[in-house]
């Protein structure tokens, strides 16, 4: 301690000064780095907060909105008619529908004006009354290959189960190898029962057994998977019509809902598919999957408007929770908040 007050020899002082001189830039640099890290952390917290606050749709529509912001980089109060038209076409809304939506709008379009027009595009679709559902409520899931049918069944089952309902699944895709295992794995994860058979067996029999079991054991929801098929595959389409008939035999009035699963990344081309399936068996509602993976979010306007069918849910990821109820107001707000002040 005493030595602390002792005067340092001259060389020692010089060496000390030199060391300080040598390391000073490093100290300044590391202080800068620390400051940078602190600022970045604050930025991340802020981004996380904003992301949390953003509606589900804003997140689901991220790719579509990114496309918008490449045309309108800064949010505005009014956007010119031509730019709005470009934005809608860019989001894969069919030109006919764009014209319909924009008819009579002024040169500079406000958010409210556009919002009103876009929401009205969904108004043709009938409402589905979800009160007093028959029990069991039988849903038949249909669509082309890879649209997201099986994953959507898992998402629906998870949703119903969380609402305290009893759910049973039917592995009606007996055509594709591994389809039965895929649904069985989901059933295991979600802890819901599944009725299945061997690959190649009659899917109508699976549908029958599933419904029969659902009725006998008082299940609330019965969801039946089907094999992916193209509207041009006549034998598979006959098979689908047979499944529908057999459901009605197992429990009169079922299937209560024939749900068409459309791959959102296909944009407008999904409309032709849905039309063909609608003619084949009659569709009651639509679920659009993979909205998270597409910049073609505007196709939902054309899908609902052209088919005059309600979009019930949208898929926004691969997990069981990645399904959100479709709400036209929130969907339109999610889109417009990206470009309007
Ligand atoms: N990103 C994303 N991927 C999804 C979504 N829905 C389904 N998928 C993925 O799409 C792929 C196909 O999904 P499946 O559920 O097997 O589709 P499917 O219609 O049953 O297919 P097939 O039975 O072969 O006709 C899988 O990799 C899923 O994880 C979604 O909403 N978002
Ligand atoms: Mg499948």
pLDDT, tens digit (0-9, with 9 covering 90-100), for 65-95: 999 999 999 999 999 999 999 999 999 999 9
User: Which residue owns the Cα nearest ligand 1 atom 17?
Assistant: 148
**pLDDT at position 49 over 60:** no
**DSSP H or E stretch at residue 98:** helix 95-102
The structure's pTM equals: 0.84
| Ligand 1 atom nearest residue 225's Cα | 20
Q: What angle, rounded to 10 degrees, do the helices at 203-216 and 234-250 form?
A: 20
Residue pointed to by tokens 């039965």: 180
Q: How far is the CA of 186 from the centre of ligand 2 (A)?
A: 11
pLDDT 10s digits, 171-217 = 999 999 899 999 999 999 999 999 999 999 999 999 999 999 999 99
At residue 9 the predicted structure's pLDDT band, cuts being 50, 70 and 90, is: low
Q: Could you tell me where the DSSP H helices lie in 125-223?
A: 149-162, 179-190, 203-216
User: Which residue owns the Cα nearest ligand 1 atom 21?
Assistant: 146
- How far apart CA 285 and CA 225 sit, in angstroms, is 15
- How far apart CA 138 and CA 78 sit, in angstroms, is 47
State which of 57, 261, 287, 318 you would mutate to test the pocket of ligand 1, scoring each by most atoms of that ligand within 8 A of its C-beta.
Answer: 318
Tokens matching residue 277: 């399936």
| Ligand 1 atom nearest residue 316's Cα | 31
User: Which residue owns the Cα nearest ligand 1 atom 4?
Assistant: 318
- How far apart CA 190 and CA 183 sit, in angstroms, is 10
pLDDT score at 53: 43
Pairing outcome for strands 78-80 and 108-110: antiparallel
Residue pointed to by tokens 């045309």: 71
Q: How far is the CA of 226 from the centre of ligand 2 (A)?
A: 7
Helix %, strand %, coil % of the chain (to 5): 55, 15, 35
State which of 57, 289, 292, 326 you would mutate to test the pocket of ligand 1, scoring each by most atoms of that ligand within 8 A of its C-beta.
Answer: 289
| Ligand 1 atom nearest residue 155's Cα | 6
- How far apart CA 248 and CA 134 sit, in angstroms, is 13
User: Which residue owns the Cα nearest ligand 1 atom 29?
Assistant: 318
Answer for the pair 135, 160: CB distance below 8 angstroms, yes or no.
Answer: no
Query: Residues for the chain: how many in total?
Result: 341
- How far apart CA 292 and CA 309 sit, in angstroms, is 22
- How far apart CA 85 and CA 83 sit, in angstroms, is 5
3-state secondary structure of 110: strand
pLDDT 10s digits, 18-41 = 887 888 888 888 888 888 888 888
Query: What does pLDDT average to over the chain?
Result: 91
β-pair partners for 72: none
- How far apart CA 225 and CA 196 sit, in angstroms, is 10
The set of protein residues with a Cβ atom below 6 angstroms from ligand 1 is 143, 145-151, 173, 176, 179, 228, 289-290, 292-293, 315-318, 322
Selected residue with higher pLDDT from 16 and 49 = 16
pLDDT 10s digits, 204-236 = 999 999 999 999 999 999 999 999 999 888 888
State which of 141, 151, 231, 297 you would mutate to test the pocket of ligand 1, scoring each by most atoms of that ligand within 8 A of its C-beta.
Answer: 151
**pLDDT at position 46 over 70:** no
- How far apart CA 62 and CA 292 sit, in angstroms, is 7
């Amino acid at each position: 301690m005493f030595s602390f007050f002792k005067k340092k020899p001259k060389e020692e002082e010089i060496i000390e000064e030199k060391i300080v001189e040598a390391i000073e830039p490093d100290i300044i640099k590391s202080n800068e780095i620390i400051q940078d890290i602190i600022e970045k952390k604050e930025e991340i917290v802020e981004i996380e907060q904003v992301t949390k606050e953003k509606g589900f749709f804003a997140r689901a529509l991220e790719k579509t909105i990114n496309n918008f912001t490449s045309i309108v980089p800064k949010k505005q109060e009014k956007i010119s008619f031509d730019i709005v038209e470009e934005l809608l076409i860019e989001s894969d809304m069919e030109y006919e529908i764009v014209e319909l939506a924009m008819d009579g709008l002024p040169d500079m379009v406000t958010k409210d004006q556009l919002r009103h027009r876009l929401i009205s595009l969904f108004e043709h679709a009938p409402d589905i009354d979800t009160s007093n559902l028959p029990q069991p409520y039988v849903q038949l899931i249909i669509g082309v290959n890879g649209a997201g049918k099986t994953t959507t069944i898992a998402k629906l089952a998870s949703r119903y189960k969380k609402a305290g309902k009893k759910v049973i699944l039917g592995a009606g895709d007996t055509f594709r190898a591994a389809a039965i295992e895929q649904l069985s794995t989901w059933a295991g994860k979600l802890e819901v029962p599944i009725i299945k058979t061997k690959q190649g067996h009659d899917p109508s029999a699976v549908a029958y057994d599933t419904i029969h079991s659902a009725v006998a054991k008082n299940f609330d929801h019965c969801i039946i998977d089907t094999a992916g098929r193209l509207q041009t595959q006549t034998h598979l389409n006959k098979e689908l019509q047979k499944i529908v008939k057999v459901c009605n035999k197992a429990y009169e009035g079922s299937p209560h809902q024939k749900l068409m699963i459309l791959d959102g990344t296909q944009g407008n081309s999904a409309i032709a598919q849905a039309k063909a399936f609608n003619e084949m068996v009659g569709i009651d509602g639509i679920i659009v999957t993979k909205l998270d993976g597409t910049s073609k979010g505007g196709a939902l306007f054309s899908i609902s408007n052209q088919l005059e069918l309600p979009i019930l849910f949208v898929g926004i990821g691969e997990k069981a929770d990645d399904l959100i109820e479709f709400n036209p107001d929130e969907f339109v707000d999610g889109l417009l908040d990206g470009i309007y002040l």
